[in-house]
Amino acid sequence: MKIIQIALLSILITTAAITTPSASAEDCQLSACVDVYTQDGKIIIEGRKGGTTAVTPAPAKPTIKAIPKKVAPKKIAPPPVKKAVAPPKPKVTKKAAPKISTPTPQPPVTQSASLNDRLIKALPTAGIAYQPEYEPLVDVPVFMWTDLPTSFMTQVKIVGEIVDVALRPSFTWSFGDGTFLSTTDVGAPFPDGKIKHTYSNSGTYLITLISTWNGTYTHNAQTRAITGTVKTTSIVTITVVTSPTRFKN
């Protein structure tokens, strides 16, 4: 009994594996198949749409074919008894009547036609700014921000279909002294900025901002997640100094 069940299960799995690709191909025949994913730091939008186009060949011109007619045999009069022999009649050849042959109509030929397209969208890169801009001081907060938008939306037309793409960035800040901050806020200058850092020692530091883009795309009122993420890196140098010491009498 177990052997029979295993055999039936393997047959069902094989049948499903064979029928799945044809079903997806039929879906692309009825409506466009769209896929959005990331590659090499860019958004790739691919569309595929299959259809049929009927092509009917032009009717061929009728051909006229001449068929020769058999020539009547020459008649020889019987030898007269008393009369002189009559000369033979001239051979008469009639013109062959033309015969019109009509070609057999051929059924229309159906050829498959498909549309394929591929679009590439580049995402904006981040710039870094900080305040105070000139020689920030030790133990004084430094406000930082980026000029990236909080969302990136675009609408594209591919193989005759409209696709809406929406992405949002998240950020990871590295302040160069071993401290990090993860946020979805783009930051702002003083006094509204929420991204700030205080350096304890003077020196030159590398501020690194990693922007990670995730998003969705909508096609035919169905929203799906974009496969993969896009990460961009921005770096800026900051020099922190100590404040001068003043003594009062």
Whether 4 contacts 11, CB under 8 Å? no
Higher pLDDT, 123 or 72: 123
Residue range 4-32: mean pLDDT, rounded: 49
Q: Is residue 186 part of a domain?
A: yes
28-42, 56-70, 123-137, 212-226: range with lowest mean pLDDT: 56-70
Confirm if 142 and 132 have CB atoms less than 8 A apart: yes
* 146 within 8 A of 171, measured Cβ to Cβ: yes
CA distance 192 to 84: 141
Structural domain span for residue 227:
123-240
Mean pLDDT of 237-248: 83
**In whole angstroms, what is the distance from residue 23 CA to residue 40 CA?**
31
Per-residue pLDDT tens digits for 84-114: 555 666 665 666 666 666 666 665 543 445 5
Residue with tokens 């003043």: 246
In whole angstroms, what is the distance from residue 156 CA to residue 119 CA?
A: 9
Evaluate whether residue 165 is within a structural domain. Answer: yes
Q: Is the dihedral of CA 133, 134, 138, 140 positive or negative?
A: negative
pLDDT for 13 beyond 70: no
**pLDDT value at 6 more than 50:** no
6 in any annotated domain: no
- Residue 246: inside a domain: no
- What CATH number does residue 179 fall under? 2.60.40.10
pLDDT confidence bin for 122, thresholds 50/70/90: confident
Q: What pLDDT is stored for residue 137 in this prediction?
A: 96
Question: What is d(CA 18, CA 24) in angstroms, rounded to the nearest whole number?
Answer: 11
Burial of 228 per CB tally in 10 Å (0-12, 13-18, 19+): middle
Number of domains in the chain: 1
- Sort 20 into a burial class: Cβ within 10 Å, 0-12 / 13-18 / 19+: exposed
Determine, yes or no, domain membership for 94.
Answer: no
Q: What is the pLDDT of residues 31-86, one digit of tens each?
A: 788 999 999 889 999 988 875 333 334 344 445 555 555 555 566 666 665 655 55
With CA atoms as reference, report the closest residue to 133 among 234, 211, 236, 210. Answer: 236
Q: What average pLDDT does the segment 15-37 reach?
A: 60
Supply the pTM of this predicted model.
0.62
Is pLDDT at 226 greater than 90 in this prediction?
A: yes
Q: What is the pLDDT of residue 117?
A: 79
pLDDT of residue 56: 34
3-state secondary structure 70-89: CCCCCCCCCCCCCCCCCCCC
Is the separation of the CB atoms in 117 and 180 below 8 Å? Answer: no
The answer to whether 146 and 202 have CB atoms below 8 angstroms apart is no
Q: Worst-scoring range by mean pLDDT, 6-20, 41-55, 105-119, 120-134?
A: 6-20
213 in a structural domain: yes
Answer whether residue 63 is part of any domain.
no
Instruction: Supply the pLDDT for residue 159.
Output: 87
**87 CB-near residues (< 8 Å, 6+ apart):** none
The answer to whether residue 18 sits within a structural domain is no
